[in-house]
Amino acid sequence: MKLGIIGLPQTGKTTIFNALTRQNKPTQVSGKIEVNTAIVDVPDERVDRLAAIYLPKKVTYAKVTYADIAGLEGKGQGAVSGQLRNELGNMDTFLHVVRCFEDESVPHAFGSPDPGRDIASMNAELLLNDLITVERKQERLAEERGKGGRDKDLILREIALFERLHAHLSDDQPLRTLELNPEETRMLSGYQFLTQKPMLIVLNLGEGQPEPDLAGAAGDLPVIGLQGKLEMDLAQLPPDEAAEYLAEYQIEEPGLNRMIRESYTLLGLQSFFTVGEDEVRSWAVRKGSTAQEAAGVIHTDLARGFIRAEVAPYALLLQAGSMSHLRDQGKLQVEGKLYPVQDGDIVHVRFNV
């Protein structure tokens, strides 16, 4: 899963990226379309507690990929370039970094920070690009309708759908708020509309700066505040020094840990676990995934030869101490391929290939 970090120039996108990934990419603006990517562990204390029980040779956390994407200006000047549009379209969701901090040495693209204005500006930029894409498709559909060739009923259904998209976008509404049936969702799967993607607003605060009142500017989008420069500095410290700093200021955990979990949730993901002496591992699946689909995340052979899944809720396993103890107590759940995996389930797949 890929999460794209976007925002106006000089908002601190790369600072947030460095904090997330413990890297040290230069934060200067190059004026070019650049994309830096890195894979990040999803912090989960459940993995740590399971590892303390099994003492495995290896511990593996669920992972997400973050991409720092430069190039958006937020000035409503029309369609972005093909390269940038492709990079944005390849993301599963966006983290919109909004500048709140004051720094005269780093001029703001619009003169001074105004979070509400900047959120509206970026939303308008993404919406305009989707509207342009929809209008181009409508022109092609009109030509197709006149020429024939493809299934006429399908063309008419597409025309009706894109009329709905156009009306929704023209009303300044992102496509993520438009209800679509399964067929319509399939019809749009290849278009990678930008406003159809989930988004998290990340307020980049100065040290000690309180979160501003956005007065509804974020709408229904989730918002998280981070002291970006402080978080980046913390991420560069050795783990023991970072822990001392957090303890000194009575901070339970870095704010970035919460941000990673928030973005993980934003993707509609949940975790299930596999445990043993060799490895304790967290796996990411979409909410609502079946046991067979979860087995396929581990390995395609497990899904292909799926027989059953032995399942234990996380809390129950902690009480029992192991899957074998649960089995002896007759408390281990035995589930079929259609069982909906729950967040925190420990799953052992029985299969035959």
- Quick one: pLDDT at residue 322? 87
**Separation between Cα atoms, residue 27 and residue 10, nearest integer Å:** 9
Burial (CB count within 10 angstroms: exposed 0-12, middle 13-18, buried 19+), residue 126: buried
* 343, part of any domain: yes
Task: Give the range of the structural domain holding residue 305, as residue numbers without chain letter.
Answer: 288-351
185-242 residue pLDDT tens: 999 999 999 999 999 999 999 988 999 988 788 888 999 999 999 889 888 888 889 8
CATH classification at residue 317: 3.10.20.30
* 135, part of any domain: no
232-288 residue pLDDT tens: 988 888 888 988 888 887 777 888 788 888 888 888 999 999 999 999 999 999 999
- Quick one: pLDDT at residue 76? 57
Counting the structural domains of the chain, the total is 1
* 307, part of any domain: yes
Q: Which tokens sit at 2?
A: 């890929």
* 331, part of any domain: yes
* 314, part of any domain: yes
Residue carrying structure tokens 């759940």: 333
* 297, part of any domain: yes
* 309, part of any domain: yes
- Number of neighbouring beta carbons within 10 Å of residue 15: 22
**Separation between Cα atoms, residue 92 and residue 194, nearest integer Å:** 10
28 pLDDT band, cuts 50/70/90, is low
126-169 residue pLDDT tens: 999 999 999 999 999 998 888 867 788 899 999 999 999 999 99
For residue 172, pLDDT over 60 is answered with yes
- Please spell the DSSP secondary structure of 285-313, one letter per residue: EETT-BHHHHHHHH-HHHHHTEEEEEEE-
